[in-house]
Structure 1
Amino acid sequence: MSDTPTSPLVRHYTVTGFVSIGGRTALHWHPRLNRWLPPGGHVEANEDPLQAVLREVLEETGLEVEIVGRGPFAYIRPPQLPVPVAMAVYDIPRDGSHDEPHQHIDLIYFTRPLSPSAALPQDDDRWAWVDEATLQRRPAVFEERGRRAEVAEDVRELALAAIAAVRDTGAS
């Protein structure tokens, strides 16, 4: 069978929230994909992208965060949503979780924890803080608790930009 869909390709809206503080960003090991990824997930029904990214980060990391870089416009009405720093389209293959290939249209945000002493979940060993020096190496290979993989180029570039954006706000 071919991975080419016979009907129009289904698209899901998703969000990603790079969580950065102190020159590090949070990544988790995704066992199905065998790679390091930031927190994120699907935008749910009746949810806007801001609500989705804050919820996904909280659900996955336990961290309450705020968006970094909300946008330049000063008007008050109508209310504005933070502008994503990037949008990406990911092709998702058919696999055990999906009957058909589809796409994720991903709205990507940079965030920082509200607490300066932010800690990742102690009961989930898939999470790790990855430092800027590791991400600057090419290839950016990261190993934690026996899980070793090159950090994908998009994740590496966005994580470095998130660290810089948080630093530029005056936060550590």
Structure 2
Amino acid sequence: MKIAKFREIVEANSLDELHEHLQARHDSFFGSFWFWHDDGPELSVMVNREDAYLLFISPDGASHHSTLDLMTNPHVPRTYIGGAGPSLYSSYSKTAEFPDKEIEFLADNHEPTPMSKLYTVPLSQAITAIDHFFVSGQRSENIQWLLLEPPPPPSPPSKKAWWRLW
């Protein structure tokens, strides 16, 4: 399985190697990882101490670009769910204590990425999901997942405002 640790690409051929790579941290407690096999789904994980946010990307649409390409290459067209792109599943916790609290993570480009506590899981649960993904290439049933819907398409301009287009 291939891994991007803050955009450094490495490969893990065993669970021991995977766990060694999972130790990588920025400023002692931030981790940002992308996991993928040569074809199929991808898993993104951001870590802050003992909290983790997971994003599972299922390539069930028409997009043939990896999510890493979508994140790092501005020339790759963005596509969405419904036969036109990947389905995105976010970790989700209905029982989160303080769901309005935000946890700060760092994305792979080192940008602060705050997430609601509602979408985080304990790091130990995330590691179990990562192990499952390593072995099966599928999302773990150990995580509660929420399907993220794409934004609606923009509305066409009103005919009354045709003069604003000039």
Higher relative contact order (CA 8 A, sep 6+): 1
TM-score by length of 2: 0.24
- Rg: which structure is higher? 2
